[in-house]
Amino acid sequence: MSTIETSAIETSAIESSAIESSTIESDFLGSLLTPAADAGEHHDAWLKARRASALERASALSVPTTRDEDWRFTDLSSLYRLQLKPAQAVGQVDSAVLKTLMFPEATTRLVFVDGHFNTAATSIVNDDKVRVGSLRQALRDDTWRSARSAIESHLATIASVSDDVFTAANTAFLQDAAIVHVAGGAQLVDAPIQVINVATGHEMRSNPRLLIIAGKGSHCTVIEDYVAVGGSAYLTNSVCEIVIAPDAEVRHVKLQREADTAFHIANTTVLMQADSRYRNWSVGVGGRISRHNLNVVQNGTGIDCEMHGLAMISGRQLADTHSSVDHAFAHGGSRQVHKTIAGGSAHAVFNGKILVREGAQQTNSSQQSRNLLLSPRATVDTKPQLEIFADDVKCAHGATVGQMDADEVFYLKSRGLSEAAARNLLTYAFAKEVVEHIPVASVVSVLESHILEQTRNKEA
């Protein structure tokens, strides 16, 4: 066979593969934009208009591939080959199992199963200043009347659908959502709110949605929790929108502890106003492939935010975190520490961007990506970024990737610990730095137990 003939065969094979991939991606997009059979319509014109606009935009987009710069390390082709059905109704979850997922400090809990509100498992404590419930309740219950204008102003307006097909699809089929509305001056310092999103894992796709509105001078803590009770492949496509009024503070804990068969795509967008504060802890330990887009927009002076991230993965898991902090006004601050522990053949990705716009003088921002590899087969791709267009700022970023320090292991062994115990202790200490300051004691306890359990198997 001639060289020309061989080249022609190879070219044909490449073209056939590209056509097949394009077909698979197109078919998945079609299924992603297929509504559930029981999808009803809200009567509110503003919501119908936003859903229609999002569907139109989603139809014009394509699903991300490794050809896209922001996704070049995260291959979703295994997701695109699945035939996932939209969740039709509330799945059945044993009440005893649900109780094990609840944090005792959170007397107010919202439970969603496969994206549908589960009233039986929900526990709500509302008053004149705090309204917590589902979107359907908020739009129909007269006790929500004072909060409706804020919901209309912010729901499906904070998270952009312009270039994200998953966010657009979530918005297009927005039937229900978890709503947390904290009026001005309310202080929920010792009363965290837990939103539990349970996946039954029955080869479904669900679109959880969370809207947090913190009024002027208020203070609240919200736990956004994703868990699984089934083992089949499924997709969780979640969107969280947070609006923080002047002089308010939101402490936001996002836990992703889904099944190892899950695909978890999440978008968190935070809009901060003058003198507000945002504290975020994002911990991911589950999922076959997980992606978290965390975007913070500082829309006022004197704003401060902290972001703490931890991904613990092993086997063939892939965890991808993309974050962005937009400093648009003067005297803003942000601090970010993202840590990864990867064992087996796991792959971690971190891309963090800090943007300081012209005029955002006296900005003080730092970003750190720290990665621990427990296996020679584990990989990390990390890219912290600074884009600065102001001249009176203090900004820094850095990244470290390495394996366990041999001297530290030797020191602990010299004190009587076994090799395995020494490595487990050092891994635990590396992870604990992120979770120990979470403002809910029972969450810290659960995560510490999980870290200790996981460190025993992370090299496998």
pLDDT tens, position by position, 42-59: 668 999 999 999 999 999
pLDDT at 227: 95
Q: Please, how many CA atoms are within 13 Å of residue 58, restricted to the half-sphere of its CB? A: 23
Residue 88, pLDDT > 90, answer: no
pLDDT-derived band at 342 (thresholds 50, 70, 90) equals very high
| pLDDT > 70 fraction of the chain, expressed in percent and rounded | 92
**Over 50: is that where the pLDDT of 225 sits?**
yes
Phi, psi of 278 (to 5 degrees): -130, 125
The residue-averaged pLDDT of 320-347 equals: 96
C-alpha torsion angle, residues 397, 402, 406, 407 (rounded to 10): -10
pLDDT at 363 exceeding the cut of 70: yes
* Residue 107 burial (CB count, 10 A): 14
Look over the chain and give the mean of its residue pLDDT values, rounded to a whole number: 90
172 close to 54: Cβ distance less than 8 angstroms:
yes
CB 185 within 8 A of CB 214: no
Lowest-confidence range among 57-66, 121-130, 391-400?
Answer: 121-130
pLDDT in the model for residue 12: 53
What is Dmax (Cα atoms) for the chain?
82
Q: Are 332 and 299 in contact (CB under 8 A)?
A: no
Give the pLDDT score at 6.
56
* 201 phi-psi bin (left φ>0, alpha ψ -120 to 50, beta other): left
**Which residues, at least 6 apart from 394, have a Cβ–Cβ distance to it below 8 Å?**
363, 364, 365
Residues 176-182: what's their mean pLDDT? 96
pLDDT of residue 460: 46
CA distance 233 to 287: 10
Band of pLDDT at residue 173, cut at 50, 70 and 90: very high
